[in-house]
Structure 1
Amino acid sequence: MSTHTHSAAFPAPSSLEVVPGTERAQAAYPYYMQFTAADDQRFWFYNSMHFPEPMSAFDMVTAEAAYCALGSSTTRVHCIPTTLGIDYRIINGRVYIGGNAVTDPGEIARRTGEFQQRAFYYYGNWERLYAQWREKMLALIRDAQSLPKLELPEFEPLSNVHSGRGIATNHALLDTYQRTLEGYFRMWHHHFEFLLLGYGAYMTFFAFCKKAFPEISDQTIARMVAGIEAEIFRPDEEVRRLARRAVELGVDDEFKEGRTPQAIMAALETRGAAGRGWLDELATSRDPWFNINVGDGFYHYHRSWNDDLSMPFAGLPGYIAAVRAGESLERPIEKLQAERRQLIQDYRELLGSEQERQAYDQMIGLAHRVFPYVEGHKFYCEHWYTNLFFNKIREFGALLAAHGFFAREDDVFQLTHYELKAAIIDLMTAWSNGSPPRGPEHWPQIVAERRAAIAEWAKESTPPALGPVPDVIDDPAIVMLWGITRESLDRWLRASSDVASRELRGFAASSGVVEGPACVVKSVEEIGRVRKGDILVCQITNPTWAPIFQKIAGAVSDIGGSMSHAAIVAREFGLPAVVGTGTATSRIKDGQRIRVDGGRGVVTLLS
């Protein structure tokens, strides 16, 4: 991100105050996550794409591990020429981030030489390295699944003594915790191994198109990579498959709106071979495809479909109704790909030289090679592995709760990962010396205080950005994923000063025009309120909400760029969508009638 700034500015970080009464909860976050006076000189934006709700003390590890790995990839591994890593800060539970630009021409040239040696090797060996990456991730998942069960027996098992193991069981608690935490940090390095290269390939093609075809829209360029096959779409495809099988087996009458998964499965057990057959199909889908979180994998309470079947089962009645009506449940991949091929060919013919056409062919070919990873990696990283990680931490919570450290297992997420290690050592020490642990006296009040703080922080409005506005933003992830550009920041500034306007503007993510009632969703827990024909208004959508997309007529988000997950999912489902409005969830009221023009990037308030 450029260090040159525009005269306009968002509020300075120092102008934000910690909500009164929550100061100690704010102080629980490590010192390196806190704003300082020097941060007033930099631009920051609220990362509501990944952290749309206040973060508990432990959940901040998701930012800590992710940004550590992201910075390593951009700064040291692939050496992106114009940008280093991303800094992050937290206030009132909200995560703000800011990029570190490289502006010196000599340094950019030096880094370019390094980048070419590294990135071009990956581009040239993409399929082999991606296959290798997948095996690494599956091995890491197996490691997480094989971590030992937590236990503290009254006496060390005799078998351990007679074998001469020489290490008591309490040490396994510390070892398992450290392996759990280390595995999570390692996962994020795998997550970013290819990601920025994928965005870089797309941005190179994007820049070429903007120069060669000055009138081309961002959405048109994005459509040239539509119709991708990626694992992140597979869970929803499995739900659709289960809907078809329910009709084929004649048990579709059991799937009614509002009926719990437990009630449906119990009823199917009584339906003989057909019911058991469908349950067998469900078991096939669950491993591995239901290892996907209801959110984006950054909060401990975003449980997987396997932990809570409510999300996939909520999608089944609608899909079953579509099957009964003779509708196809298949994503229109062939149609999208045919449109993509025609679009690519139409623009190719506008190029004036064979040299330009060859460059165009190479760049779009590379974009098609890399983009399945850009979406597909999420299934393995943010979802499957992260769910295993949080569930293991939940086991530590259950053990500590059983020894009186706090009331329930999920209270463990009110401790930082540093504090959790201390609590584990406290319990280890108490077990070893026969004295009571100190935790039951220490943690309950702190847990209650931090829970109350999160509730207070959730009530507070959150500025979309802070600090001086940069003239240029050149970090590929910030532009393509978050949709932060000089133009979008101007829109945010205008929106903050023109609250009477009946229009909101953002990125034209997916074409089409639709009118309907807004359903404003500010947390995953509220997704169940969405009704047929609603226009979903949220901070950001998630690919795992796909079963809900059959209900909605369109989508609007606060944040996101042309290649954000919200934009990609909307295009894949053919829904009008506008992303990156900055203020939709605060400007639009629940139930308010709105019009979404996904081709122009305009949302109009009609009532």
Structure 2
Amino acid sequence: MYSVLFNKAEESSRLAGAKGMNLIKLRKNGLPVPDGFVIQTNALTRFIEDNQLQGGDEQMGRAIMNGTFSKELKDELTASFYELRESYASAAVRSSSASEDLEGASFAGQYETYLNIKTEEEFLGKVKECWASFFSARVSRYKEKMQNDITEPLMGVVVQGLIESEVSGVIFSRNPLTHDDRELMISASYGLGEAIVSGSVTPDTYIVNKETFQIEKEIGLKEMFMFSQAEGVAEKETSTDMRSRFCLDDERVKELAELTKKTEALYGYPVDLEFGIAENKLYLLQARPITTIEQDQKAADEKREFMMTPLDQKDFWLNMEANIEGPVSPLFASLIVPALEYGLQQSTKTFPVMGVEIERVKLHQGRIFSKQKKIAEQPPSEQTEALFPVLAERMYDIINETFLPFYKGLDELAHVTHTPESALDAFQKLKAFYLKGYEEHFNIIFPQVALNMKLEAMYGQIEEENSTLLYEMLAGVMNKSLETDRHLWLLAREVNNSPALRHVFSTYHADELPQTLLQSEEGKRFLQQVGHFLEEYGWRSVKSHDLIEETWAENPYFALSNIQNYVRSGYDFDSEFGKTIEKRKQLYASFLEKIEDDGFRKTFDRYYQWTLSSSVVKDDHHFYIDAMLDAKARLCLLKIGELLKEQGVIDHREDIWYLYGDEVEEALTSPEPMQEKAAERKQLLRDYQLLEAPAYLGTPTAEQLQVAEQITGSITEDEKNTEHHIYGLAASSGIASGPVKIIRDAGEFSRFSSGDVLVCKMTTPLWTSLFQDAKAVITDTGGILSHAAIIAREYGLPAVLGTRAATDRLKDGDIVTVDGTSGKITIVKRASY
């Protein structure tokens, strides 16, 4: 017997193929499956024998299409077909491999489906096409990938009455996005189900709680629908009315949910179903076990655990944009997100001074978000207090013992020619070091935060308002950012002292300077000096906290551009820095006079001196850890990118940034082309850059908002804002007026002119060069200890930070007055265009 009706077949008959076995099982258990029959796998064996076929997969496929049916085989198959056609206008013919849809080897989508089959000739032709698909190249590759050793051609064919579905769809009994067993997901659209299976339409989506039947739904475009015609299947665009409404009502969704639960209970594990609805009757067209769930779960837990799921987004997550401006590249995300999570989890437990613990850190649309929980706020422990006098020294001990030795190894790796084994070893060591590095990063930062909070509390006992002045009393201490600027200024002095060099820097554009300087001996000597500068200070990237942009060490343009700015501006670094020191001393002397209690004055002075000496921690840890680790990692990874290019995995070495870490490791072990994936990710990163990232996800409570603002500053726009006023955090005192210049990234630095008011999302040490020319600084994000606040105070610039709205509300050329003492920005005059 070569064919058997669903209702007469044995459930366990392997001759039916997997799809056939599933349909037989469903029909036998009373589920609404359309009638049909199975052409058993022995029919293909008989066909091969009758035609004496042999050869490899490719030859076998062609031979089957050219073969003929024996009279016995043809008569039996066509008899079953005509019997089915007595009840249905047409049939669907689908392949049913014995290895398809079975546990551990889901071949879904690898074989063939044919709809609206009406004639004997069509029927027999499609049966041969299903058989031939078993030998197709794509199935052979898939079998090889799955390590499937089935050599016997166990291919059955399912022939089923075609349901002319008005609505059809796919159901997953376990939410495939979140892997949540408590939810099922339905995707539905109009017409025959092939439109959804093939991905031709954007369906309506329904998430259903399997216990309460609560429904969450999202409308899809449902761009077209497929339907049967006299011959074959046609497509037609949906109407505006069809697109604007859901294709299933809530009662039908609940009915589908009940059917899914019943089917899942029958199998005993998660399933995916295909259904159709015709003349108000529901049909179950296919069911198969979800064999990829363990693989998907493993990918989510081990490889992409740091990616935020829809289920995650129901919780409150805080955008970490004040520290890491997104979006970030996939490879950097693979390194930094687990490192941030590990480091923050360790340090918020060790130093619980802010009243929060970090639960998770995850990536959403290229941005990094953290999830924290409120804990009892505790004063610094005795162990933490004992660190206060030595915070800076302690930081340098950690840098010298942990970071600099590792960087020496990275420098060597940036000049090697890798084998796959050495590249994999280097990458895995780098990945492990990011975890260690960020544990130490926060181990350095959190005790300083505790000290600052302690001093703020003491300051508040004397001055209830204007805490900005406290931090101006901590300015005027040389740190690595200022030290970098001073060296650039000293190089600019050399230029000004040489008529020949001054002529070059005054005449040529910054990108022409390297070539022009090479044309004279004096110019060459100056470039050597710049090279020595970059060996020590060039470890910062154009895009801070990522790997995708050049470092200063790779390209002298960036340093030369800054030197040129000093040459043209006439800025005197030492003179201005001396003024900042003098202002600090005067402010502190005035403040001490306000303290009447001698004992409190001595205590405050002790904590103040500790805070002053540790004020370098903010910028110096960024110099040696945040910036230097990424910059040196970039050069090391570029060498791995060269190897992947040679192996045909990517087209260009810098395409490595668009692979996730697990993909890099996999490619080094088993190289496969990933050019298309890299190109898609590159475009996606560009798309993410155009999105306005939310300050937070979820619906926070008032307490959660308060805790979040302790960490990052304001996360919502100030309610006091009006048409002519914007409010933010008073970060550096003083009042100044000037024209707005909105700068979005380092590529726009050349647009900034002396006397402009700098308006931006946030700043990093790379932005420090703009401060010498700015009249004032305004940012969307950032708090009192952010980079923008610290450098504004060092340069004596009024600054209002954390406005959440400045880059949207202000335009280039608007005249504003920035009051850095009160935190108010006044729009004096709008630019006319």
In the superposition, the TM-score normalised over structure 1's length comes to 0.80
2:61 is matched with none
Q: Does 1:596 align with 2:818?
A: yes
Tell me, in whole angstroms, the C-alpha distance in 2 between the residues paired with 1:602 and 1:302: 35
Tell me, in whole angstroms, the C-alpha distance in 1 between the residues paired with 2:423 and 2:411: 16
**Shift in Å, 1:505:** 0.8
1:385 is matched with 629
Count of aligned positions: 533
1:314 is matched with 561
Preserved contact between residue 729 and residue 823 of structure 2 (Cα < 8 Å): yes
Per-residue CA distance 1:121-165 (angstroms, 9 max, x = gap)? 32244455334223122222212213375536xxxxxxxxxxxxx
1:58 is matched with 331
Q: Which amino acid aligns with 1:461?
A: E
Q: Does 1:120 align with 2:393?
A: no
Decide which of 344, 355, 369 is 2:613's aligned counterpart: 369
Per-residue CA distance 1:446-485 (angstroms, 9 max, x = gap)? 122222222222222222233224337787x9636x3x2x
Q: 3-state DSSP class of the match of 1:404?
A: coil
Preserved contact between residue 539 and residue 628 of structure 2 (Cα < 8 Å): yes
Say if 1:177 and 1:90 are closer, same or farther in 2 by CA, change over 3 A: closer
Q: Which amino acid aligns with 2:363?
A: I
**Shift in Å, 1:321:** 2.9
**Shift in Å, 1:302:** 3.6
Decide which of 90, 97, 106 is 2:370's aligned counterpart: 97
Say if 1:286 and 1:18 are closer, same or farther in 2 by CA, change over 3 A: farther
**Shift in Å, 1:254:** 0.7
1:171 is matched with 421
2:687 is matched with 456
Say if 1:408 and 1:552 are closer, same or farther in 2 by CA, change over 3 A: same
**Shift in Å, 1:172:** 1.6
How is 1:205-220 mapped onto 2 (pairs within 5 angstroms)? Answer: 205-215=455-465, 217-220=466-469
1:240 is matched with 489
Q: 3-state DSSP class of the match of 2:737?
A: strand
Per-residue CA distance 1:312-353 (angstroms, 9 max, x = gap)? 222223311344xxx523263332222222222222222232
Tell me, in whole angstroms, the C-alpha distance in 1 between the residues paired with 2:478 and 2:218: 45
Deviation larger for 337-346 or 537-546: 337-346
Say if 1:537 and 1:86 are closer, same or farther in 2 by CA, change over 3 A: farther
Q: Does 1:277 align with 2:529?
A: no
Q: Does 1:252 align with 2:502?
A: yes
1:576 is matched with 798
Tell me, in whole angstroms, the C-alpha distance in 1 between the residues paired with 2:695 and 2:623: 28
Say if 1:335 and 1:377 are closer, same or farther in 2 by CA, change over 3 A: same
Preserved contact between residue 212 and residue 351 of structure 1 (Cα < 8 Å): yes
Decide which of 414, 428, 434 is 2:658's aligned counterpart: 414
Q: Structure 1: which 5+ residue stretches go unaligned?
A: 1-14, 153-168, 428-438
1:346 is matched with 590
How is 1:550-569 mapped onto 2 (pairs within 5 angstroms)? Answer: 550-569=772-791
Say if 1:294 and 1:234 are closer, same or farther in 2 by CA, change over 3 A: farther
Tell me, in whole angstroms, the C-alpha distance in 2 between the residues paired with 1:317 and 1:512: 28
Q: 3-state DSSP class of the match of 1:603?
A: strand
**Shift in Å, 1:426:** 1.3
Tell me, in whole angstroms, the C-alpha distance in 1 between the residues paired with 2:751 and 2:219: 31
Say if 1:333 and 1:515 are closer, same or farther in 2 by CA, change over 3 A: closer
Structure with more contact order per residue of length (Cα contacts < 8 Å, sep ≥ 6): 1
Per-residue CA distance 1:388-429 (angstroms, 9 max, x = gap)? 1122122212221222212211211111111111111114xx
**Shift in Å, 1:253:** 1.0
Preserved contact between residue 596 and residue 602 of structure 1 (Cα < 8 Å): yes
Preserved contact between residue 150 and residue 173 of structure 1 (Cα < 8 Å): no
1:537 is matched with 759
Preserved contact between residue 729 and residue 801 of structure 2 (Cα < 8 Å): yes
How is 1:278-297 mapped onto 2 (pairs within 5 angstroms)? Answer: 278-296=526-544
**Shift in Å, 1:227:** 0.6
Say if 1:530 and 1:333 are closer, same or farther in 2 by CA, change over 3 A: closer
Tell me, in whole angstroms, the C-alpha distance in 2 between the residues paired with 1:171 and 1:388: 21
Q: Which amino acid aligns with 1:58?
A: L
Tell me, in whole angstroms, the C-alpha distance in 2 between the residues paired with 1:595 and 1:319: 26
Q: Structure 2: which 5+ residue stretches go unaligned?
A: 1-215, 222-295
Q: Which amino acid aligns with 1:455?
A: R
Tell me, in whole angstroms, the C-alpha distance in 2 between the residues paired with 1:17 and 1:375: 46
Q: Does 1:145 align with 2:411?
A: yes
Q: Does 1:468 align with 2:700?
A: yes
Tell me, in whole angstroms, the C-alpha distance in 2 between the residues paired with 1:367 and 1:459: 40
Tell me, in whole angstroms, the C-alpha distance in 2 between the residues paired with 1:396 and 1:564: 34
Q: Does 1:230 align with 2:479?
A: yes
Q: Does 1:395 align with 2:639?
A: yes
Decide which of 25, 39, 49 is 2:322's aligned counterpart: 49
In the superposition, the TM-score normalised over structure 2's length comes to 0.59
Which has more helix, going by share of residues? 1
Per-residue CA distance 1:179-223 (angstroms, 9 max, x = gap)? 2222333222232222111121111111111122223x1211111
Per-residue CA distance 1:428-455 (angstroms, 9 max, x = gap)? xxxxxxxxxxx12xx1221222222222
Tell me, in whole angstroms, the C-alpha distance in 2 between the residues paired with 1:248 and 1:504: 45
Tell me, in whole angstroms, the C-alpha distance in 1 between the residues paired with 2:584 and 2:217: 46
**Shift in Å, 1:597:** 2.0
Say if 1:299 and 1:126 are closer, same or farther in 2 by CA, change over 3 A: closer
Tell me, in whole angstroms, the C-alpha distance in 2 between the residues paired with 1:518 and 1:392: 40
Tell me, in whole angstroms, the C-alpha distance in 2 between the residues paired with 1:120 and 1:465: 33
Preserved contact between residue 201 and residue 367 of structure 1 (Cα < 8 Å): yes
